[in-house]
Amino acid sequence: MKKRKVEIAVISDVHLGTFGCHAKELLAYLNSIKPEKLILNGDIVDIWQFRKRYFPKSHLEVIKKIIDLSAKGTEVIYITGNHDEMLRKFSDISMGKISVVDKLVLELDGKKAWFFHGDVFDASIQNAKWIAKLGGWGYDLLILFNRFLNWWLLLLKKEKFSLSKKIKNSVKKAVKHIQDFEQVASDLAIENGYKYVICGHIHQPQIVRKVNRTGTCLYLNSGDWVENLTALEYHKKKWKLVTFDQSEYPKIKHENEDTNQMQNLLAAITITSKKSS
């Protein structure tokens, strides 16, 4: 496959080290592009839910690919998130072409772009971190169950189904939380003279023009690699939201197509359930 040249690629919320992470799909996407800058906008490695017994080869290959890109000239900027907040003690440290920061401001064709993960706007994380961590475990358990469900649906030749998306879209509080997040981020960007604000955190891919009484900005969210499998790309003065399409890539053997892997997932559901009780 011919690699596409892009000036900037942005990914976030990969959650390496969790069962919901689609590492193989992300690796296929990274193998398809040749970015000048790769911005990792938080929650790339899920340190909150890290388990020694679960860090598959495909997850390690994603890390290796990122390092390989930096060795070949791509500038890699790792913006810390809440699930990898332990890396904040290394903020403003650079190693070759790789740097770790808490936020980033770039000038893109004369316009200021503000990049940050977005957890600073999440009250549950700022005021009750243990609730957020408990919610993270519950979310991972939901993803595990969803993997099991989709395994059966594929056997029955039916379409996959996302339980978490269904819940988010049907719960008014979740929808309002997303809308509030977007508005707060955009208002703050406009107040500080940024024309682009680029976030992650809420797993909701988006490119939308935001306007208030004092100005306007373009709000962008790179989504995630758990449910949506999305990335942002900036090239030739234009932003684009890219969604991974299996048909455009070589056949990927999914972890839930492996019988042994499915047994591991079932065992993990049991173990996680015991921990939660």
- What average pLDDT score do residues 230-259 get? 81
Write the pLDDT tens digit of every residue in 30-56: 999 999 999 999 999 988 766 667 789
CATH 3.60.21.10 fits 4-276, yes or no: yes
Res. 197 pLDDT band, cuts 50 70 90: very high
- pLDDT for position 98: 97
Residue 269 has pLDDT above 70, yes or no: no
Res. 69 pLDDT band, cuts 50 70 90: very high
Residue 130 has pLDDT above 50, yes or no: no
> Are 33 and 72 in contact, with CB atoms under 8 Å apart?
no
- What average pLDDT score do residues 137-162 get? 65
Res. 133 pLDDT band, cuts 50 70 90: very low
Residue 225 has pLDDT above 50, yes or no: yes
Q: Looking at 53-57, 181-185, 265-269, which range is the least confident one?
A: 265-269
Res. 110 pLDDT band, cuts 50 70 90: very high
Write the pLDDT tens digit of every residue in 81-109: 998 888 989 899 999 999 999 999 999 99
- pLDDT for position 120: 80
Res. 257 pLDDT band, cuts 50 70 90: very low
The residue ranges of every structural domain in the chain are: 4-276
